[in-house]
A and B are shown apart, each in its own frame.
Chain A
């Protein structure tokens, strides 16, 4: 996978929509905000032409317990999945897509979901653990995939 094969801008735009803005938060501390953190991951990937951030998931601000709009988070997560290369056995925890997905899971589900490199297996797993959100996520992902010309 390369930065060129990932639409970093598309993910960044989707994440931007989840931002509560300074007006609501009072201040903007991206290191302590799941949305700001994910924006920074995307900015880093673009600025450094990097697809890996060594130990990047260790920096996910797990103490951010704010409630974000579910629809925006689902939209972002589906966009992240669209950009994911479904690397199967070659899945890397340090991958920027993986880190962004984990941060969004934290914001949406309050916990991380198992991911083994397969989007299909992931969506099924999410649907088992979170039936309602899982169904919406799968539907959004399939819509995006279809629009991108990538099958059903």
Chain B
């Protein structure tokens, strides 16, 4: 567990930089460009988890760290820890397909859970609709918006490795608050049940699905009722 700093073959280091779900402001982008030049950065790499890797000489790390924090960004995390949240830009202002403001929810998830110690990698992906551009089925904890403040939660996915696994539905029609509570629940069960360095998908295979099921009353308290629609009212208004 530690910062996302990776020694490269050539001796330089790659440093992962995390923004709010991969979205950078022009100021942050310009600040990063200045830092890249100042720090003799040989290249910047965009990652599949929406982070940016700076390839720099090791001695430049303290300056990069300070500069990144000054831009409102942070150094990524690596190892047995909850990683940065991968999310789509679904909000009231951005992606038109998004069914809920997942960008905001993902920001809260990242602020609250990133860097929390866990038995092995724990990746969270959030998608604003069932198209799932952020591959929520391939995450340890995948969230898919199904309506306004209504989400389905999938757990136990793993995108990489020789044996990729799709996550399984844990709960549906859960509010944003419920997503936070269920993540706490899943992390607590994972901590309790996992063997050292065991990925969640393997814990689920070994310990079974049952211990991860949230209690019925907990589920009910966060479960959305049938999606409200004012269409019927609209339809009836048109009738004399």
Q: Which of A4, A27, A40 contacts B234 (CB 8 A)?
A: A40
Residue contact B231 to A53, C-beta cutoff 8 Å: yes
- The residues of A that contact B99 with a CB separation of less than 8 Å are 52
Contact with B along A44-55 (1 / 0, CB 8 A): 100110001111
Task: Tell me if B196 counts as interface (CB < 8 A to partner A).
Answer: no
Residue contact B131 to A40, C-beta cutoff 8 Å: no
Q: Which of B228, B229, B238 contacts A40 (CB 8 A)?
A: B238
Alpha-carbon gap, A90 to B99, bound state (A) = 14
Known: A2-B97, A30-B239. A55 touches B131 (CB 8 A): no
Residue contact A44 to B231, C-beta cutoff 8 Å: yes
Interface of chain A, main secondary structure:
helix
Contact with A along B200-240 (1 / 0, CB 8 A): 00000000000000000000000000111111101110111
Residue contact B234 to A44, C-beta cutoff 8 Å: yes
Alpha-carbon gap, A4 to B97, bound state (A) = 11
Residue contact B235 to A40, C-beta cutoff 8 Å: yes
- The residues of A that contact B234 with a CB separation of less than 8 Å are 40, 43-44, 47-48
When C-beta atoms are compared, the residue in chain A nearest to B148 turns out to be A54
Residue contact A54 to B147, C-beta cutoff 8 Å: yes
Residue contact B236 to A56, C-beta cutoff 8 Å: no
Interface size on B, residues (CB 8 A): 19
- The residues of B that contact A52 with a CB separation of less than 8 Å are 99
Residue contact A59 to B235, C-beta cutoff 8 Å: yes
- Shortest distance from the beta carbon of B15 to any chain A beta carbon, whole Å: 37
Residue contact A54 to B227, C-beta cutoff 8 Å: yes
Interface size on A, residues (CB 8 A): 24
Task: Tell me if A148 counts as interface (CB < 8 A to partner B).
Answer: no
Task: Tell me if A1 counts as interface (CB < 8 A to partner B).
Answer: yes
Alpha-carbon gap, A47 to B232, bound state (A) = 14
Task: Tell me if A37 counts as interface (CB < 8 A to partner B).
Answer: yes
Task: Tell me if B10 counts as interface (CB < 8 A to partner A).
Answer: no
Task: Tell me if B27 counts as interface (CB < 8 A to partner A).
Answer: no
- The residues of B that contact A4 with a CB separation of less than 8 Å are 96
- The residues of A that contact B185 with a CB separation of less than 8 Å are none
Task: Tell me if B189 counts as interface (CB < 8 A to partner A).
Answer: no
Residue contact B231 to A30, C-beta cutoff 8 Å: no
Residue contact A56 to B238, C-beta cutoff 8 Å: no
Task: Tell me if A29 counts as interface (CB < 8 A to partner B).
Answer: yes
Residue contact B238 to A1, C-beta cutoff 8 Å: no
Residue contact A56 to B240, C-beta cutoff 8 Å: no
- The residues of A that contact B230 with a CB separation of less than 8 Å are 48
Residue contact B240 to A29, C-beta cutoff 8 Å: yes
Residue contact B240 to A27, C-beta cutoff 8 Å: yes
When C-beta atoms are compared, the residue in chain B nearest to A1 turns out to be B97
Contact with A along B90-111 (1 / 0, CB 8 A): 0000001101000000000000
Alpha-carbon gap, A135 to B99, bound state (A) = 37
17 A-B pairs besides A30-B235, A55-B229, A59-B235 with CB distance below 8 A are A1-B97, A28-B239, A28-B240, A29-B239, A30-B239, A32-B239, A40-B234, A44-B231, A44-B234, A47-B234, A48-B230, A53-B231, A54-B226, A55-B227, A56-B229, A59-B231, A59-B232
User: Nearest 4 CB-CB pairs, A to B?
Assistant: A2-B96, A54-B227, A54-B229, A30-B238
Give 7 pairs: A residue, B residue, CB < 8 Å, sorted on A.
A31-B238, A40-B234, A43-B234, A48-B230, A54-B226, A54-B229, A59-B232
